[in-house]
């Protein structure tokens, strides 16, 4: 049951279509909604159709097969697992089926286990009661086609009578009669328990006119005789009528007249409760199913194809939306580009004039900065020049390079080096004015009684402001 997230039960009643939807909760199914839809209206597709969400929230669609299309047989087999029991039923299918095996679909339901009385010295045998459900393949295919026209693709076909049998508290031996409508005819299912196990399931009908009690008595007598012949009925039965108020009024008098005794009347489970039992049983059932395998395979393929088609449709729609957005964005940007180009053509002359004025301004500004840089360099040299040293040449080039040369007494060589160091350490507003890593050092040379010298400096900032 854990693999199912929800379960739908559909009943095509004579008056309307009844749909119950159950949600899987706490190891069972809880009724989520119940709908009654007229035959002229369509079933709600959002509840019964399968879509992408069914991949991670599996949905089980179950339909009740009309009882007039179903044959029920009770067989007693040794207790075993489901697969072995299925094989044992299949071996007896020709004997159990009222139709040729090639023309039927069938399934089974284990209806409890019991211990058979020992025969002679043999040990007691553990047996299981199996209800075999048989339906004509043509009737099932016709019903499945009707469901398809309703837009309901069933995963399983079930009969509610199995759940009604389990819902009735049958603790002792006796016979239980369940009235229902069989193709417009008043009918009932007769279930007989004997020896603590279900022994027989048979259908009886009531004629519309005539001696109804006598006709019913004859049908019940045939069931009793078959039980006596098969050996599972050894005494009188206690009869129970499981019917709602309307059916109880019709059946109680007829059944009492046929049996010559009073009958205990029990209310049946509500349709919603019966649908809940069917959902639980269908979710726990094995692969055995009244729905032919080719229908299940076709429905699964249709589901897969539908998902692919929808995926392609969504992908195409997404691509179309993307293309629309792309072309709209391209159109908007093209309009903006055209507008900007128009503005640029209008402002082209002004822009060119602005560039020319800016270039002239930059030249004038650079000349002014160079003028001040030369004057500032001359001032800094004058401030640091020792009186014992003779400066013969001062050169300022490229806005940054300062070249000094001159003469000094031979005993003032150290003063030359100090002069060079003082200039390099010169600061304005706590910043060096000359680069500490560039420039040539002092290069003194003997020239007669004097020392000829020269060295180069490089300004850090040609646009340094005057002091």
167-189 residue pLDDT tens: 887 667 889 999 987 767 888 99
Residue 46 has pLDDT above 50, yes or no: yes
CATH of the domain at 415: 3.30.1360
Q: CA–CA distance from 463 to each of 275, 367, 380 (Å)?
A: 96, 10, 15
Same domain membership, residue 177 and residue 286: yes
HSE-up (13 A, CA, CB side) for residue 11: 21
Which of residues 291, 324, 341 is at a domain's end? 291
The mean pLDDT value for 239-243 works out to 90
93: its two tokens: 């299918």
Domain assignment present for 449: yes
Beta pairing, strands 431-432 & 427-428: antiparallel
What secondary structure letter does DSSP report for 434? B
Domain assignment present for 297: no
Residues 60 and 47 sit within 8 Å (Cβ to Cβ):
no
Handedness of CA 218, 220, 226, 228 (dihedral sign): negative
Q: What is the mean pLDDT of the chain?
A: 86
C-beta atoms surrounding 89 within 10 Å:
19
Domain assignment present for 343: no
| Type and span of the H or E element at 438 | none
Residues 467 and 376 sit within 8 Å (Cβ to Cβ):
yes
Tens of pLDDT, residue by residue over 102-114, are: 999 999 999 888 8
Same domain membership, residue 180 and residue 274: yes
Using DSSP, state whether 156 is helix, strand or coil: strand
Tens of pLDDT, residue by residue over 361-377, are: 887 777 776 667 777 77
Domain assignment present for 440: yes
What secondary structure letter does DSSP report for 412? G
Residue 2 has pLDDT above 60, yes or no: no
Predicted TM-score (pTM) of the model is 0.68
Domain assignment present for 110: yes
Residue with tokens 């049958």: 170
Tens of pLDDT, residue by residue over 84-93, are: 999 999 999 9
Residue 153 has pLDDT above 60, yes or no: yes
Describe the crossing of helices 271-284 and 160-167 by its angle, rounded to 10 degrees: 110
Q: Measured between alpha carbons, how far is 256 from 261 in angstroms, rounded to an integer?
A: 5
DSSP per-residue letters across 239-255: EEEE--HHHHHHHHHHH
Tens of pLDDT, residue by residue over 305-359, are: 888 888 899 999 999 999 999 999 999 999 999 988 888 888 877 878 888 888 8
Tens of pLDDT, residue by residue over 111-140, are: 888 887 776 666 778 899 999 999 999 999
- Show Cβ contacts of residue 243 under 8 Å, excluding neighbours closer than 6 positions: 177, 178, 179, 251, 252, 265, 267, 268
CB burial readout 409-419, b (16+ within 10 A) else e = eeebeeebeeb
Domain assignment present for 329: no
Tens of pLDDT, residue by residue over 187-215, are: 899 999 988 888 999 999 888 788 888 99
CB burial readout 240-265, b (16+ within 10 A) else e = bbbbeeebbeebbebbeebbeeebeb
> What total of structural domains would you count in the chain?
2
Using DSSP, state whether 342 is helix, strand or coil: helix
Using DSSP, state whether 336 is helix, strand or coil: helix
Same domain membership, residue 228 and residue 104: yes
Enumerate the H helices of 168-233 as residue ranges.
Answer: 212-230
Domain assignment present for 44: no
Higher-confidence position of 6 and 375: 6
Please state the separation of Cα 274 from the chain's center in Å.
Answer: 30
Give residue 369's pLDDT: 64
The mean pLDDT value for 64-89 works out to 91
Return the closest-CA partner of residue 285 out of 157, 392, 397: 157
Using DSSP, state whether 179 is helix, strand or coil: strand
Residue 447 has pLDDT above 50, yes or no: yes
Give residue 465's pLDDT: 42
109: its two tokens: 């339901």
Same domain membership, residue 374 and residue 280: no
Which of residues 256, 274, 291 is at a domain's end? 291
Same domain membership, residue 399 and residue 284: no
Q: Measured between alpha carbons, how far is 401 from 394 in angstroms, rounded to an integer?
A: 11
Return the closest-CA partner of residue 108 out of 162, 61, 164: 162
Using DSSP, state whether 195 is helix, strand or coil: coil
- Domain with 393, as residue range(s), is 369-458
């Amino acid at each position: 049951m854990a693999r199912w997230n929800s379960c739908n039960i559909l009943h095509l009643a004579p008056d309307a279509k009844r749909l119950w939807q159950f949600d899987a909760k706490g190891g069972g199914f809880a009724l989520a909604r119940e709908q009654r839809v007229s035959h002229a209206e369509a079933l709600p597709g959002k509840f019964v159709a399968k879509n992408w969400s069914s991949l991670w929230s599996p949905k089980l669609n179950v339909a009740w097969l009309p009882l007039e299309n179903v044959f029920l047989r009770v067989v007693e087999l040794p207790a075993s697992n489901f697969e072995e029991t299925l094989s044992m039923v299949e071996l007896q299918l020709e004997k159990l089926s009222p139709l040729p095996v090639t023309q039927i679909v069938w399934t089974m339901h284990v209806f409890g286990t019991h211990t058979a009385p020992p025969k002679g010295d043999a040990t007691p045998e553990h047996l299981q009661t199996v209800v075999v459900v048989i339906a004509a393949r043509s009737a099932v295919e016709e019903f499945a086609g009707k469901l398809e026209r309703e837009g309901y693709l069933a995963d399983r076909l079930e009969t509610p009578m199995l759940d009604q049998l389990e819902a009735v508290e049958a603790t002792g031996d006796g016979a239980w009669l369940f009235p229902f409508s069989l193709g417009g005819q008043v009918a009932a299912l007769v279930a007989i328990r004997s020896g603590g196990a279900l022994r027989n399931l048979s259908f009886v009908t009531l004629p519309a006119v005539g001696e109804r009690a006598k006709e019913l008595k004859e049908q019940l007598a045939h069931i009793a005789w078959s039980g006596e012949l098969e050996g599972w009925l050894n005494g009188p039965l206690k009869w129970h009528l499981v019917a709602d108020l309307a059916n109880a009024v019709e059946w109680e008098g007829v059944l009492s007249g046929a049996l010559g005794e009073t009958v205990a009347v029990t209310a049946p489970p509500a349709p919603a409760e019966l649908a809940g039992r069917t959902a639980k049983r269908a979710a726990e059932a094995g692969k055995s199913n009244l729905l032919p395998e080719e229908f299940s395979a076709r429905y699964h393929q249709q589901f897969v194809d539908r998902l692919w088609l929808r995926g392609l449709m969504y992908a195409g729609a997404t691509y179309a939306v993307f293309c629309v957005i792309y072309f709209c964005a391209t159109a908007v940007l093209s309009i903006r580009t055209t507008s900007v180009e128009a503005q640029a053509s209008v402002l082209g002359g002004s822009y060119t004039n602005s560039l020319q004025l800016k270039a002239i301004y930059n030249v004038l500004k650079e000349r002014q900065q160079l003028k001040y840089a030369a004057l500032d360099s001359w001032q800094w040299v004058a401030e640091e020049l020792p009186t014992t040293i003779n400066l013969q040449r001062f050169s300022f080039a490229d806005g940054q390079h300062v070249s000094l040369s001159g003469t000094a007494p031979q005993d003032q060589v150290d003063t030359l080096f100090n002069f060079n160091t003082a200039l390099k350490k010169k600061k304005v507003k706590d910043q060096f004015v000359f680069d500490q890593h560039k420039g040539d050092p002092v290069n003194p040379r003997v020239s007669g009684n004097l020392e000829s010298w020269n060295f180069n400096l490089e300004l850090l900032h040609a646009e340094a402001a005057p002091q």
